[in-house]
Structure 1
Amino acid sequence: MPAHMTPKLRLRQLSDSKSALNGGEVLRKVSEVYRMVGRLAFETDLRRCGFRTVQNGTMYVVFCNHEYLRLIV
C-alpha cells in the first residue's frame, strides 16, 4: 500500500466512486480488501453506508444502493 494511502482513505475511495454515487455496483478483490483495510473494517463501513455485499470466489460485489436482492439461480 502506498505510504499516503490509509485504510480510511481506501474505504472512502469505494463510497466516493462514480458507480457508488450513482447507486451501481463496485467490485473489489477479497485479497485486496484484506490487505488494504481488513475484512472487519470493510464490513463495518459497508453497514454504515447501508450497502450490501456478496462474495463470489475471489471477488466482492458491493451493491451501492438499498434495492432488494434476489438470487435467481
Structure 2
Amino acid sequence: MTYASPLCPAIWLNDIFSSRAAIKGQVIRRKARDIEKFVGRGAFEAELKRRGYQAVENAGQVIIFCNREPIRRLA
C-alpha cells in the first residue's frame, strides 16, 4: 500500500536532520515504513551518504548515527 505524504521529501529530511540530537551528532530512530512513506529508501540512503552518516535497520526500526564515527557491533 502506498501512502501520500503531507510533506515533501526535502522538508521531511530537513526536519529529522535538524533535530537537536542530529545537530549534536547523536543517534536518532525512525520507523522504516515512515522513511519509505515520506521520502523513499533511495533518497534517504543518498542523504545519509551525502552527510557521511550511517544507519542500521532492525525489526522495522532504522537507527541513524548522525556523525562520522565508526560503528562497532558488540554482540
CA distance in 1, matches of 2:19, 2:13: 10
Matched ranges for 1:61-72 at <5 A: 61-72=63-74
Give unpaired runs (5+ residues) of structure 1.
none
Q: Does 1:19 align with 2:18?
A: no
State the match for 2:39 in structure 1: 37
Q: Once superposed, which parts of structure 1, at least 4 consecutive aligned residues long, lie more than 6 Å away?
A: none
How far does the alpha carbon of each residue in 1:8-37 deviate from its partner, in whole angstroms, 9 at most, with x for none? 100111211110000100101000000110
Percent identity of equivalent pairs: 34
RMSD over equivalenced CA pairs, Å? 0.7
CA distance in 2, matches of 1:45, 1:68: 18
The alpha carbon displacement at 1:57 in A equals 1.1
CA distance in 2, matches of 1:28, 1:35: 12
State the match for 1:46 in structure 2: 48
Give unpaired runs (5+ residues) of structure 2.
none
